[in-house]
Amino acid sequence: MKKSQAYRYLAVVIVLLVGAGTALAAKISTSGSSTTKRTARKVNESNRTQARISRLRHSRRLGYTRRSRRRHRYYERFTANSFATSDLTSGDFNAGEDPVVRQAAIDALGNMNGTVVAIDPTNGRILAMVNQKLALSEGGTPCSTIKLSVGLAALSEGIITRNTPVKIGPRAYMTLTEALAKSNNLYFEALGRKLGFERVHRYATQFGLGELAGYNIEGEHLGVYPDEELDAKLGGVGRMCSFGDGISMTPLQLGAMVAAMANGGTLYYLQHPTSPEEILNFQPKVKRTLEIANYLPEMSDGMAAAVQYGTARPLRVNFSEEQILGKTGTCSNSGTRYGWFASYANTSYGRIVTVVFLEGGRPTYGPKAAEIAGRACTIIASSPLKTLLRKRERLPLASLNKLY
């Protein structure tokens, strides 16, 4: 092959190689541009995917909110002291009290800031009143003990029986027995709204709230039951029937009402003898008769359940010899926490009504009051007074008074 032909072939090859390289570069450039263009393209999800993304975003927001709430949890601050710093019995007039019951109440209360009142439900006599300054004061918010009055009112009006299911949630119902045992607020709020303020007020005053419970007891203050319903913004009649908001109740008022429940419906004036002579001349004084006898079995199941497995079960830590019927109450007002418990023994003798009312801070609450009542029951049950109580049913009042 001639040299000139070789140069021509070489030139053709070079031209072909250069052309192929340019085409390849153009292809790569075009492909890169296409890729960039596809990346910038908007993606349209299906309706199902969009709904799922929305749910996920919502759940994340809720999760963050819950964590935030846990970090900023609110703690109620109390300014009152749950424990006594001085002798609570100083100034008490006890010459006409039962010495065994009084000592049991003192020992059971210990150093807790509160009062214990023991009442004979068969005649209204106050057997013991420890820390009389507090017992005779205007008291405080009744908390969940107001549910006794509300329950009796609803039974009397035929709104419920012990087995009537009352709606407390979208798919939740509760009966009177369970509501008393667990002190369910939603249940009694529903009863309060069903009754209405006028009927709630009428029954409460009939049971002795809002009036003096004692007969010529020096220093007794009046608990107040308002004539108007609590403002709706504050919970209205429902809140009054679950927490007792807007109401002031004294230990004596609660004791008189529970004594009427223990004896079948007789509301006595409470009397506090202050000397042996007053004991000897003691005569019961009836305030009025309550038409509640038919409804007491309906209430007693729930009150027994409260002690057996409900809010008052700490009582059984100290006392399980007899069945006790009771109701607790816990709430607070203006930096002071209240703990209530009212009870009586379900026996044919010695149905002493016991009311424990505590004031203080965080250690003060209804179950603690129930524990104190159980301690008092244990002390009394182990004393000679138990034998005396059995005799009470068979002795005339004049002979009974001589035993003290």
H-helix or E-strand spanning residue 257 = helix 251-263
* pLDDT higher than threshold 50 for residue 64: no
pLDDT at site 5: 59
Query: For residues 46-58, b (16+ Cβ closer than 10 Å) or e, as one string?
Result: eeeeeeeeeeeee
Report residue 52: phi and psi, to 5°: -65, -40
Position 26 scores a pLDDT of 46
Backbone angles phi, psi at 268, to 5 degrees: -90, 150
Give 78-102 pLDDT, tens digit per residue.
Answer: 888 999 999 999 999 999 999 999 9
From 303, 275, 268, select the one nearest 120 (Cα to Cα). 268
Asked if residue 404 has pLDDT above 60, the reply is no
| Phi–psi pair at 164, nearest 5 degrees | -70, 120
Over the stretch 335-382, which tens digit does the pLDDT of each residue have?
A: 999 999 999 988 765 679 999 999 999 999 999 999 999 999 999 888
What is the DSSP code string of 297-314? HHHHHHHHHHHHTSTTTT
Residue range 261-279, pLDDT digits in tens: 999 999 999 999 999 999 9
168: phi then psi, degrees, rounded to nearest 5: -120, 5
Whether the per-residue pLDDT at 107 is higher than 80: the answer is yes
pLDDT for position 394: 39
Q: 3 pLDDT exceeds 70?
A: no
Largest Cα–Cα distance of the chain, in whole Å?
158
| Tokens read off for 297 | 């079995």
Question: In whole angstroms, what is the distance from residue 354 CA to residue 145 CA?
Answer: 13
- Collapsing DSSP to helix, strand or coil, 206 comes out as helix
The predicted structure's pLDDT at residue 36? 44
What string of H, E and C letters represents the secondary structure of 133-170? HHHCCCCECCHHHHHHHHHHHHHHCCCCCCCCCEEEEC
pLDDT of residue 59: 52
Q: What is the pLDDT of residues 137-182, one digit of tens each?
A: 999 999 999 999 999 999 999 999 999 999 999 999 999 999 999 9
Residue 33 has pLDDT above 50, yes or no: no
Q: What is the pLDDT of residue 382?
A: 82
Question: Are the C-beta atoms of 268 and 260 separated by less than 8 Å?
Answer: yes
The yes-or-no verdict on residue 27 having pLDDT over 60 is no
The percent of residues above 70 in pLDDT, for the chain, comes to 76
Residue 6 has pLDDT above 90, yes or no: no
Distance CA 243, CA 190 (A): 13
User: Which pair of tokens denotes residue 75?
Assistant: 């703690």
Between 37 and 398, the higher pLDDT residue? 37
> What is the spatial distance between Cα 110 and Cα 374, in angstroms, rounded to a whole number?
13
Structure tokens at 176: 């009177």
CA dist., res. 100 & res. 307, Å (int): 24
In this prediction, residue 118 has a pLDDT band, given cuts at 50, 70 and 90, of very high
Mean residue pLDDT of the chain comes to 85
Is residue 40 predicted with pLDDT exceeding 70? no
pLDDT (tens digit, 9 = 90+) per residue, 283-323? Answer: 999 999 999 999 999 999 999 999 999 999 999 988 988 89
For residue 351, what pLDDT is reported? 79
